[in-house]
Each structure stands twice: as C-alpha cells, then as structure tokens.
RNA sequence: CGGGGCGUAGCGCAGCCCGGUAGCGCGCCUGCUUUGGGAGCAGGAUGUCGGAGGUUCAAAUCCUCUCGCCCCGACCA
C-alpha cells in the first residue's frame, strides 16, 4: 500500500497522556487514538496488527479442533441472574435498559451466553467434546483503565469454551488449549511463561495464566530458579517453616510503646527483628470480621484469605471497626484476649516463640507472647505472599519474583456454570449429566501491547515478523524519475513474492521517512534513492539490530526471501 | 472510592501568581529553493482558552459549581 493514501498519523512528540512504552509508541506510530478513557479507535496500521494476531489465534484454535462462532455484545439480564453474576460482577458489568425497560449488560465474558446455547442445542454425549470460540469486543467498566490497550474498558478478546462429558475429557480439553496458547504466543514472537493462577470472578478449580515478562506488567510472577514451578503471586504457595524454634518460653510482659504503631516503629523501639513480631490484621468479608496473624516481615495475601473464607473478596477493617473489635486504635491490636472474631494465622506464625504482639490497648504491646499459652488460633493456613528467596513449594530451587503482563488465561471450570444453568447431556446409559466446562481467554490488544513492551528501542517499535503490520517498508528517498520507476517496478515484484509492502511514496525528505520507518517498526526497510541507484544498488535495513546491506535491485526479492527465512517462523 | 496533577490551535507547551481582549515550537496550506537521518526563506490558515454561572468597565487570568483526562493509592496497624 502507498503510505500517501493511508492514515498513519505519526507524532514527533510524546503525547502527554501516555507513560508506558507500548502506550506511547502506539500513539506515536499512529496505531491507535483514544476516544474515551480506556476506549480506543484502531487506526489502519493498528488494526493490521490486531488482525495478524487474530489470524494466528484462529489458525491455532482451528488446529486444536475449536470452532468459531460469534455471540452478541449485549446480553439480557436473565442469563446473568441465573448464575447470580448479575449481582456478583459489581460495577465492572456495564448495565443498561432497552426501550421496554428490560435490563441488559455489555458482555464482559460469555459463559452464560454459551452455556445457554449449549443447553438448548446439544443433547448427546456423542456430540462431545465441543469447543466454541469467538473473537469479539468485550466491555468491562474497569476501576482504573490505563496504559492504552493494556487495560482498556472496551477490548478485543478471544474467548473459548469447552464442554466435556467427564473430568478426564475436560482435562484433555484444558491441556489442548494450554498447548494451543503456547503455540499462539510463541508464534507472536513473545517471551512468556505459563503460571498457576487464581480463578477470581470466573471461578473454577484449575487455572493458568500466560504471562509475558515485562517491567510494566501489573501482575507479579513467581518462579523457581531451578525447578519448573511458576505461579502468580496471588496463588504461589508458601512453604511452612522447616526449622522449629526451640527457645524456652519466657514470661509474658506488657511494655509501653508510645505512638509506635507500625512494624518498623515497634521493632526499632523494642530492638527486635521484624521476624519476632506478629501483627494482627482485622479483615471484613461481608458481615463477618476475622483477625489474621502474620509475621512482621510478611504480607497477607488477600486472595488466599478470601479463598479460605470462601468469599469473593476481603477488605481490611477501617479504624472504627478496629476500635470496636479490639478496644484500641489501629497499631496495637493483638490476639491476646481478643473476643468476637475468629483468629486465623499464617503457618509461619505457628512455630515461633516469644513474639511481640499488640496488647489491644493504646500505646502498649506484649513481649514474649506464645501461641497456645497466651492465645489460641482457630486455624493455621498459608495466608501470606511468598517472598524472593523462599524455597519453592514444589521441586528444587528458590523463588524469584518478576513482573508480567497477563495475555491469556485458561480455566478448568468444572460444573460451575452447567449446574447453575442446568446444562445437561445424555450419557451412554441415557442418564442426564452436567457438562464439564473449561474457558480460555486471550487479550488480543494486550498481546500487541505486550509485544511492543518486549520489542522496541529508543527509536520505536521493532515488530516480530509474524505480527508486523507490513513485512517490507519501501522508502523512496529521492523524488527523481529513476527512483520512482525503480520502486514502482520492485513494489509489485515484492507483493507477488508474498510480501506485504508499505511504500513510503510521500514527498518528504529522507530523514522524515527514516525516522517514521524506525518508529513504525516494520521488519525490513528497503531504501531506494539516486545515490544507491548510481552505484546500481538499493539498501536493505533490518529494523531489529539495524544491519544494513547493499544489493542490486534485481536480486532484492530473492535476498529478502532468504532474510525472511530467518525472521518469519511460519516459512521455516 | 481517596489523594495529586492537567485541560489554551492537529501535537508539545508558555501566558494565569499581579485581570486590559492570546502566544511559541512542531505540524498544516501556498510559492520558491533544497533533497540519504525530523530542510531554508517568504507568505498564510486554524482557538467558543473543557463547560456553566458569578465578580468586574473589562476574565484564559479571580470566585463557585461542573465535566473530561492522566498518575498514585485503596488503608499490612
């Protein structure tokens, strides 16, 4: 295509609204424009990238035996009420009424709609397994959309749903999708890592997230230095302490700790290690309050706590609630004499002796408090975030933390939706059985953003070949007839050889074209100008690495074909 | 939801404190020259100064309300 005829509004200055690399470059390279917070138009160049990623997804989903369909964006409240997610989903679900005052929402995900389809249309186990997918616009009214396509409110998602007769079959379907995702992200040129994940609002039993490792990632990934264990921090299991504290129990003593509230202040004041302090945090979930005991150098993992309590979320109690439950202001809560609430504790608290705890009295702590002797704990559980250097809970090695962008997630749902919506099928004995489901999502725009996060330099984007908007950026750097004629001859030759070519035929100066080309990041740049033609050559620059070579025009196509073998895995 | 910041030409910004009727750079349009890493000269167009209300002879500027956007946080006692 000719650049003079495409809307590619590149920007010379960084737009003020963008901070992260991918957001900035997507705006500067003319891929997207914002319409409202978290809502974007995909410009021609951006859409080509999106379509490339979608195509890879389609090919791999089809190869995995999934079938494509397309569900509506708007869905009626009735379906969501069947699963109770009409209430559960909260403000993220964008609701509206039609002209008859009937409730609708914009689909943030499509378990309800697909399960409804399934229960109406599928009767027999003979039709299973089934896997449906769509690539479609989703809407989630996020609390804080940010970073361009990374966390939008409206975004393109590939979602797939599998239906099996039994657990074993569902596991095969799950693994099948796991493998397809691995192929998809590999083909997109991403460095990623599948990690064990929490299931959140979608629900279910088993889940993995596909994380692209990048500093700007919003998720924290935990992985073992030597073993294969990897998990989202929300999920990562902490090992119980291995060494038991064998110290003799010392007598409990109350000490004054005026104005010392935080772990730092109290431990500094009492000159003890933060490992010798046990903090008492009060949490609320719905109507219930619980106290959580955690070692001073650890952090509570609220996802783990919520799962233990079997609720969707927990929040730290506000100061008034703390005052009411403990009789003291925040900073001095402790387990000794604490009434009215259940006391839960992280496993790391179980074996330590002679600890510092709050005294439930302003400006006072206890020293040498001991579990069993001075207070009791209803249940010990894994309730903390793992830390770098902790031993891996499975396999060898210690844990390392890194930031990651979640580009895909797979869930084994079990019967969560089929049960609520009564999606049954007849088995060999003619008995009705609930379908076992799985669901599988990929953020298409986020995948593009993640690719930029991983592949860029200070000049601009460096697209991996398979998802680049074009393969070859043809730059004519003179306006002479000779140059134009050469380009006009090479352009169709390249296209006939299977290259997608963007020809910068604009009457701008060379510098402008070079800078735009580097910004846009098409893998191969071909420079045609009078200087080169006088020597009988055109120039090739590989965007990644910047390697330049000079080549006779009639050898260009063959040479690029050879280069493509190196850069495009799909032609290997 | 809480905190902070920002809304002035397509983009990046100045002007605001101290009121006097809007400016700079880039981009855009015309012409000439130039033409291999963001050209030069000359001429030109473009703003309801986010919106509403108020104060004033006079408001981008002061006051009140409101909308939008960006960033951080959402309580670790």
Longest dimension (CA), chain A: 96
Give the tens place of pLDDT for each residue, A307-316. Answer: 888 887 788 8
Assign A279 a pLDDT band (cuts: 50, 70, 90). very high
Q: What is the pLDDT of residue A202?
A: 64
Nucleotides of B under 7 A from a protein CB: 1, 6, 11-13, 25-27, 34-39, 68-77
Helix or strand run (H / E) with residue A368: strand A364-369
Q: Is the CB of A146 under 7 A from strand B?
A: yes
Closest residue (CA) to C1' of nucleotide B25 is A13
Q: Would you say the C-beta of A294 is within 7 Å of strand B?
A: yes
A318, pLDDT greater than 90: no
Question: What percent of chain A stands above pLDDT 70?
Answer: 99
Q: Cα–Cα distance between A70 and A382 in angstroms, integer?
A: 42
Q: State pLDDT tens for residues A432-483.
A: 999 999 999 999 999 999 999 999 999 999 999 999 999 999 999 999 999 9
Give the mean pLDDT of A253-262. Answer: 90
Q: How far apart are the first and last CA of chain A?
A: 26
Q: State residue A334 phi and psi, 5-degree precision.
A: -155, 165
pLDDT more than 90, % of chain A:
78
User: Domain A3-237+401-453, what fold?
Assistant: BirA Bifunctional Protein; domain 2 (3.30.930)
Q: Which candidate, A336, A395, A343, A398, places its Cα nearest to that of A370?
A: A336
Least confident segment among A51-55, A396-400, A463-467, A544-548: A396-400
| Rounded CA separation A489/A484 (Å) | 9
**Token digits of residue A39:** 């809502």
- Nucleic chain B: which protein residues 340-369 of A have CB below 7 A from it? 358
Angle at the Cα of A180 from the Cα atoms of A176 and A184, rounded to 5 degrees:
170
Measure the CA–CA gap between A160 and A422, rounded to whole angstroms. 20
| Residue A242: pLDDT over 90 | no
Query: What does the pLDDT read at residue A346?
Result: 95
Out of 3.40.50.300, 3.90.1150.10, 3.30.70.2740, 3.90.960.10, select the CATH number for domain A253-381. Answer: 3.90.960.10
pLDDT at A500 over 70: yes
A447's tokens:
């995948």
**Distance, Å, A526 CA → B27 C1':** 26
A396-407 average pLDDT score: 92
pLDDT at A216: 85
Task: Name the 3-class secondary structure at A80.
Answer: helix
For residue A201, what pLDDT is reported? 61
Asked if pLDDT for residue A205 goes beyond 80, the answer is no
Distance between CA atoms of residues A500 and A55, nearest Å: 15
Q: Which nucleotide is nearest to A13 (CA to C1')?
A: B12
A175 touches strand B (CB under 7 A): no
Residue in this structure with the two tokens 């559980």, named with its chain if needed: A381
Q: Could you tell me if A371 and A377 are in contact, meaning their C-beta atoms sit under 8 angstroms apart? A: yes
Q: What are phi and psi of A72, to 5 degrees?
A: -75, 160
**Residue numbers in A 447-486, CB below 7 Å of strand B:** 459, 477-479
Computed on alpha carbons and rounded to an integer, the radius of gyration of chain A in Å comes to 29
Mean pLDDT of chain A: 93
Give CATH for domain A470-571. 3.40.50.800
Distance A201 CA to B23 C1' (A): 53
Q: Domains of chain A: which residue ranges?
A: 3-237+401-453, 253-381, 470-571
Q: How many whole angstroms separate alpha carbon A407 and alpha carbon A179?
A: 15
Q: Does the structure show a pLDDT above 70 at A195?
A: yes
What pLDDT is attached to residue A313? 78
Is A310 strand, coil or helix? coil
Lowest-confidence pick of A76-85, A115-124, A310-319: A310-319
Residue A201: name the closest of A94, A95, A313, A71 by CA.
A313
Least confident of A118-127, A212-221, A513-522, A555-564: A212-221
CA–C1' gap, A14 and B5, in angstroms? 18
Please tell me whether any atom of strand B lies within 7 Å of the Cβ of A302.
Answer: yes
| Residue A363 CB coordination number (10 Å) | 16
**Angle between helical axes of A167-187 and A44-63 (0-180°, round to 10):** 140
Express each pLDDT in A168-182 by its tens digit: 999 999 999 999 999
- Say whether the CB atom of A147 is under 7 angstroms from strand B: yes
């Amino acid at each position: 295509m000719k650049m003079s005829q495409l809307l590619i509004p590149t920007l010379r200055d960084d737009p003020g609204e963008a901070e992260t690399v991918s957001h900035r470059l997507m705006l500067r390279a003319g891929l997207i424009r914002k319409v409202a917070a978290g809502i974007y138009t995909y410009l021609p160049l951006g859409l080509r990238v999106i379509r490339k990623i979608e195509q890879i997804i389609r090919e791999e989903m089809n190869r995995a035996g999934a079938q494509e369909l397309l569900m509506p964006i708007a869905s009626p409240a009735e379906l969501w009420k069947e699963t109770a997610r009409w209430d559960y989903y909260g403000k993220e679900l964008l609701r509206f009424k039609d002209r008859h005052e009937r409730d609708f929402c914009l689909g943030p995900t499509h378990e309800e709609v697909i399960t409804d389809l399934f229960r109406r249309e599928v009767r027999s186990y003979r039709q299973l397994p089934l896997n449906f997918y769509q690539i479609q616009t989703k809407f989630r009214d996020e609390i804080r959309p940010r970073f361009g396509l990374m966390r939008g409110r409206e975004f393109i998602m590939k979602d797939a749903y599998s239906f099996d007769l039994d657990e074993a079959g569902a596991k095969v379907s799950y693994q099948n999708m796991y493998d397809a995702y691995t192929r998809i992200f590999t083909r997109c040129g991403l460095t990623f890592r599948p990690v064990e994940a929490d299931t959140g609002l979608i629900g279910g039993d088993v889940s993995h997230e596909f994380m692209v490792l990048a500093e700007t990632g919003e998720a924290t990934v935990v992985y073992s230095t030597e073993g294969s264990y990897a998990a989202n921090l929300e999920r990562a299991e902490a090992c119980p302490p291995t060494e038991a504290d064998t110290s003799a129990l010392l007598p409990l003593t109350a000490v004054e700790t005026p104005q010392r509230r935080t772990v730092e202040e109290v431990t500094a004041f009492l000159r003890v290690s933060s490992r010798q302090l046990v903090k008492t945090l009060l949490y609320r979930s719905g109507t219930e309050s619980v106290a959580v005991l955690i070692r001073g150098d650890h952090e509570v993992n609220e996802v783990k706590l919520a799962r233990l309590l079997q609720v969707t979320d927990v929040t730290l109690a506000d100061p008034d609630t703390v005052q009411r439950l403990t009789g003291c202001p925040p900073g001095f809560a402790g387990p000794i004499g604490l009434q009215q609430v259940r006391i839960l504790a992280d496993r790391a608290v179980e074996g330590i002796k002679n600890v510092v705890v709050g005294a439930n009295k302003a400006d006072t702590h206890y020293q040498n408090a001991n579990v069993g002797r001075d207070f009791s704990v209803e249940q010990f559980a894994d309730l903390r975030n793992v830390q770098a250097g902790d031993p891996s809970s499975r396999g060898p090695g210690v844990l390392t933390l890194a930031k990651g962008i979640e580009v895909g997630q797979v869930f084994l749902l079990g019967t969560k939706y089929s049960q609520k919506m009564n999606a049954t099928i007849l088995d060999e004995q003619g008995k009705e059985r609930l379908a076992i489901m799985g669901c599988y999502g990929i953020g298409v725009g986020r995948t593009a953003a993640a690719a930029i996060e991983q592949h860029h330099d200070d000049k601009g984007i460096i697209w991996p070949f398979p998802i680049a908007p074009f393969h070859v950026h043809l730059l004519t750097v003179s306006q002479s007839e000779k140059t134009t004629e050469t380009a006009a001859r090479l352009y169709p030759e390249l296209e006939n050889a299977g290259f997608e070519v963007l020809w910068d035929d604009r009457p701008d100066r060379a510098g402008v074209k070079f800078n735009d080309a580097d910004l846009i990041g098409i893998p191969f740049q071909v420079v045609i100008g009078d200087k080169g033609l006088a020597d009988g050559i055109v120039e090739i620059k590989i965007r990644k690495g910047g390697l330049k070579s000079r080549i006779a025009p009639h050898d260009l196509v063959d040479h690029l074909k050879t280069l493509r073998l190196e850069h495009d895995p799909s032609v290997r």
